[in-house]
């Protein structure tokens, strides 16, 4: 039976869940996987946290050097989060020849190139299943289950915090601020929620996933990013009336014109499988040229779901003597030959606050016509006295084309404000 010693760096929510799975299921893994996994070290500043998990003092390391010099440690699990000290710790572990398993999407998205180079140099493993979509095994599916396909697109709800907030706004009529407070109370959102609500977290994940899907290094700088802080519950309600659900999506497409990667709020039809993914759940929809459509769904965060992904990597590493690295040119700034589409096409939902008088709609339609934008649907909703809400849904059009049109609309004295602009995916 193969044996492997594990060290866990960080005993927060995910680290604690990982420790729980490794210790409680040790006999189960011996029986079903043929591996004996033992926790040889933990590195945690809060010693009381370690004691609360039943960890013996002899297992608690005082430094990363102690972990790296421990001959009984084969696999180092990093669940600290952020860049430092995680990057220093992971680099030291790799330099010492230890295999690393990480859930740190920011670290991996920003420093994948350097970490992989170090792993290759030392013939060590570098695993990151838990960095994207919690307990959903999306990375292993891309690396080992979809090789027969050229993946044409990847589209997903890959941040649980924003999905919870948008669900509350859609089903309970909560404002963004109310839904955020509730998410913070339940532990879905941090005290400083910027990484989630501004789309940074989803951007890191899309960078990793689209790189694997398209076999090209996609840097975070290549990903268009827009968060949910500007979303109004009125737009969600109007979209609902029109048969659409609002989600923060990560969208990647490998097209003839180039690679398109973007994170932003998106209206999708209620019939889209992603529309029924609510609360903190995540899902990823893939399209392969041979297999067609595939969707993976599950918990996108949490102690045990994320711990599940980490332990899956630990077991894989313990059972395999050879490791696999990126099958594309993993340059820090990507490949110069890769073309990116910045002026992507989409349908658009546009809500305007306008003067409630004759001729206004004709003027607005004239601006769209002169800009070459085709209107698919128009709705007018009563507003306050002297004001009306006009909702316009366009046919497919370019991002740059829409931005120029919005500037022209702002110049009309009859247009008081552009209340909402949301892309739509069929």
Catalytic sites, residue numbers: 205
Bridging pattern class, strands 35-43 and 397-398: unpaired
Cβ neighbours, 10 Å, residue 409: 21
- Number of Cβ within 10 Å of residue 386's Cβ equals 9
How many whole angstroms separate alpha carbon 84 and alpha carbon 350? 42
The structure tokens 């070290």 sit at 41
The alpha carbon torsion through 261, 336, 152, 276 (nearest 10 deg) reads: -20
Decide if 156 contacts 285 (C-beta within 8 A).
Answer: yes
Q: How far apart are CA 338 and CA 222, in angstroms?
A: 11
Q: What are phi and psi of 326, to 5 degrees?
A: -55, 135
Burial string for 212-227 (b: 16+ CB within 10 Å, else e) reads: bbbebbbbbebbbbbb
Strand partners, 347: 424
Residue 123, class by beta-carbon neighbours within 10 Å (0-12 exposed, 13-18 middle, 19+ buried)?
A: exposed
Across the strands, what pairs with 8? 42, 77
Nearest to 285 by CA among 311, 257, 266: 266
Contact call for residues 94 and 122 (beta carbons, < 8 A): yes
Query: CA 8, CA 175: separation in Å to the nearest integer?
Result: 39
Question: What contacts 280, CB < 8 A, 6 or more positions away?
Answer: 160, 161, 163, 164, 188, 299, 300, 301, 302
Query: Is the distance from CB of 281 to CB of 255 less than 8 angstroms?
Result: no
CA atoms within 13 A on the CB side of 100: 36
**Are the C-beta atoms of 308 and 21 separated by less than 8 Å?**
yes
Tokens of 69: 């010099």
């Amino acid at each position: 039976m193969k044996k492997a010693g594990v060290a866990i760096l960080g005993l927060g929510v995910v680290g604690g869940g990982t420790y729980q799975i490794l210790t409680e299921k040790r006999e189960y893994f011996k029986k079903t996987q043929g591996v004996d996994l033992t926790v040889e070290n933990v590195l945690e500043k809060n010693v009381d946290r370690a004691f609360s998990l039943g960890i013996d003092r002899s297992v608690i390391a005082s430094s990363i050097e102690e972990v790296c010099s421990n001959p009984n440690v084969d696999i180092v699990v990093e669940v600290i989060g952020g860049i430092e000290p995680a990057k220093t710790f992971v680099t030291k572990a790799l330099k010492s020849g230890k295999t690393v398993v990480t859930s740190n999407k920011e670290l991996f998205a920003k420093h994948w190139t350097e970490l992989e180079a170090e792993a290759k140099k030392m013939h060590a493993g570098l695993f990151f299943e838990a960095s994207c979509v919690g307990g959903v095994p999306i990375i292993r599916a891309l690396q080992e289950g979809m090789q027969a396909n050229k993946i044409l697109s990847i589209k997903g709800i890959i941040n649980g915090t924003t999905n919870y907030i948008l669900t509350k706004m859609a089903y309970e009529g909560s404002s963004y601020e109310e839904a955020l407070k509730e998410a913070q109370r339940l532990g879905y959102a941090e005290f400083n929620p910027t990484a989630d609500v501004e789309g940074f977290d989803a951007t890191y994940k899309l960078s990793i996933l689209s790189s694997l899907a398209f076999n090209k290094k996609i840097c975070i700088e290549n990903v268009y990013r827009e968060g949910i802080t500007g979303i109004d519950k009125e737009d969600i309600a109007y979209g609902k009336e029109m048969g659409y659900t609002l989600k923060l999506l990560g969208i990647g497409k490998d097209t003839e014109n180039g690679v398109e990667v973007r994170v932003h709020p998106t209206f999708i039809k209620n019939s889209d499988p992603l529309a029924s993914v609510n609360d903190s759940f995540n899902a990823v929809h893939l399209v392969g040229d041979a297999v067609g459509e595939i969707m993976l769904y599950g918990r996108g965060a949490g102690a045990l779901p994320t711990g599940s992904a980490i332990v899956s990597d630990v077991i894989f590493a313990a059972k395999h003597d050879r490791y696999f690295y990126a099958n594309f040119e993993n340059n820090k700034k990507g490949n110069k030959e890769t073309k990116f589409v910045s002026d992507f096409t989409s349908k658009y939902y546009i809500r305007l606050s306008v003067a409630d008088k004759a001729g206004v709609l004709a003027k607005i339609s004239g601006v769209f016509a002169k800009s070459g934008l085709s209107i698919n649907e128009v709705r007018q909703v009563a507003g306050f006295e002297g004001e009306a809400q006009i909702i316009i849904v366009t046919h497919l059009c370019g991002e740059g084309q829409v931005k120029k049109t919005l500037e022209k609309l702002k110049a009309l004295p009859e247009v008081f404000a552009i209340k909402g602009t949301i892309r739509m995916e069929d």
